[in-house]
Structure 1
């Protein structure tokens, strides 16, 4: 654990929010009653179904249950100046993590066991901080809709006919943009861009057996090559087609964005604006 991290007291979401996130959010806000439309389709019963499905088949992390994960959560919340949500671990062979923020309930994060198994503790904290970024940026309403869409696609066979394709595309476009802000939150919490890029590399081609053999520098070069290959009009068109139906930007794009932002004045200024650090006793002190 890096004990020289900055504690970002008073951190505001607009201090690190990605411009694409802001633009996409404003676009959704121009669709009056969008959240009402989604909730009317699934209703509170739909929300309750996914909530109960989670707590029935996951383990709630606490100081007494999986305490190492709990420490990672608490520290990330302290750094990002955020009230801790609930954290659950769920047995699942698909590496994933997601956040639910529903009306009248405490928000919660879910980590899949297969994701935990191929990450280091620092990388797990980066994933937790990424999910905290959704809460810090108040993505709740649209994020819950997006997660319901994704989960319902697997659990409710009629979902594709219930929701218009154009609305799905708008929501997915927003999610892809919001992910960039959350990657920035992960960087602010870990304060090491290579940790974030390593997570993305493992999401792209990792497994518990392959993860130790992966080369981060080679992956960073791969991300730069992808960027260069899609600079012309054809490349841009193909990239848009590639991402159109995805819920997340492809890992190499996210890695490239983090590499750029880590060297930006905006990121450095955010760290310099705050002057508290974690000392060797594990307590925060002012400098």
Structure 2
């Protein structure tokens, strides 16, 4: 149902785009705008992942530089039957993460240092499983396409403002004014609706990838508090990338509405709790090292115990 809904929303955006092109320049104007949008799509298809990672100053890590985190993603990718994605760290105190890439063979996942500092290994595993679910569902490509179409619609509206519209436009000047104001807003609403739809689907698949829905549920609660308290300057400078994160980095989303890029956090937690109540996982009681793996093989394994306790030592930060 989510795929059908996404397809319908994409079709609606395409129809809106074509209609605006015709109102501005008739058939010839529509074809010119379509050619420009197609070129934008091709460029985005090949380069969007690199652009997004560069915008947020992400640094690639490997098994030598961050062995525990890298191996966590590796094991989750194996659970999801995915090729190993590239792994990035963003030096940012806000807890967040995103996935990008045009397909599973060219995917990348990124987590902030704030996420690794604030969350337990189990919660980090839930978050990274969610991001791998986006990769498996090809959501990163879908969101790139919708962002490109939305940008093209805004571009056409600007053309109408500067150059006027098609003289044969049956709605006249009133129609042109409505188009310039309403069309970009409608495109933004559709783009955000697609993002909200894909987040619920990624939550469900991510819970199955890591095997513990409550790990992700617990992580979402902490991330929601973190994004409300901690600013993300890179995200504020590039708001078009907000929908890619596991939670809107610009503000905590408190309610589902037409202008929210993500679903309400409590609604997401409730859906994950339903999966747990339905028998998936152990209700969050398992540790990452014991969930389908050998004891002590979790993402921060080998760190030893805290002095005078049997509790595993947690690193103070993502670098150990």
**1:187-208: CA deviations, max 9, x gaps?**
113322321111111022248x
Q: Tell me the distance in 1 between the aligned counterparts of 2:294 and 2:104.
A: 37
Q: Equivalent residue of 2:6, what SS?
A: helix
Residue 256 of structure 1, CA deviation: 0.5
Q: Equivalent residue of 1:88, what SS?
A: strand
Report if the CA contact (8 A) 2:73-2:128 is conserved: yes
**1:87-145: CA deviations, max 9, x gaps?**
21112243322222237981212212222221111111111110111111122321224
Q: Tell me the distance in 1 between the aligned counterparts of 2:123 and 2:64.
A: 22
The 5 A counterparts of 1:209-220 are none
Equivalence for 2:99? 99
Equivalence for 1:69? 69
Residue 178 of structure 1, CA deviation: 0.8
Equivalence for 1:13? none
Q: Tell me the distance in 1 between the aligned counterparts of 2:257 and 2:149.
A: 17
Residue 26 of structure 1, CA deviation: 3.1
Residue 149 of structure 1, CA deviation: 9.2
Q: Tell me the distance in 1 between the aligned counterparts of 2:96 and 2:157.
A: 22
CA 1:205–1:103 in structure 2 vs 1: closer, same or farther (change >3 Å)? closer
CA 1:123–1:158 in structure 2 vs 1: closer, same or farther (change >3 Å)? farther
CA 1:149–1:25 in structure 2 vs 1: closer, same or farther (change >3 Å)? closer
Structure with larger RCO (C-alpha < 8 A, sep 6+): 1
Q: CA RMSD in A?
A: 4.0
TM-score, normalised to structure 2's length?
0.57
Report if the CA contact (8 A) 2:94-2:226 is conserved: no
Q: Tell me the distance in 1 between the aligned counterparts of 2:3 and 2:48.
A: 31
Q: Which runs of 5+ in 1 are unaligned?
A: 1-18, 210-238, 269-276, 283-287
The 5 A counterparts of 1:26-105 are 26-28=7-9, 30-31=11-12, 40=38, 42-45=40-43, 48=47, 51-52=50-51, 54-55=53-54, 57-102=57-102
Q: Tell me the distance in 2 between the aligned counterparts of 1:82 and 1:123.
A: 21
Q: Tell me the distance in 1 between the aligned counterparts of 2:103 and 2:221.
A: 35
Equivalence for 1:249? 263
Report if the CA contact (8 A) 1:61-1:69 is conserved: no
Residue 65 of structure 1, CA deviation: 2.0
**1:147-190: CA deviations, max 9, x gaps?**
7799x9xxxx9899698221221121011011111111221133
Report if the CA contact (8 A) 1:125-1:190 is conserved: yes
CA 1:147–1:125 in structure 2 vs 1: closer, same or farther (change >3 Å)? farther
Report if the CA contact (8 A) 2:255-2:263 is conserved: no
Residue 278 of structure 1, CA deviation: 3.8
CA 1:72–1:63 in structure 2 vs 1: closer, same or farther (change >3 Å)? same
Q: Which runs of 5+ in 2 are unaligned?
A: 18-33, 160-182, 230-252, 282-291, 298-320
Q: Tell me the distance in 1 between the aligned counterparts of 2:156 and 2:71.
A: 38
CA 1:160–1:131 in structure 2 vs 1: closer, same or farther (change >3 Å)? farther
Equivalence for 2:214? 194
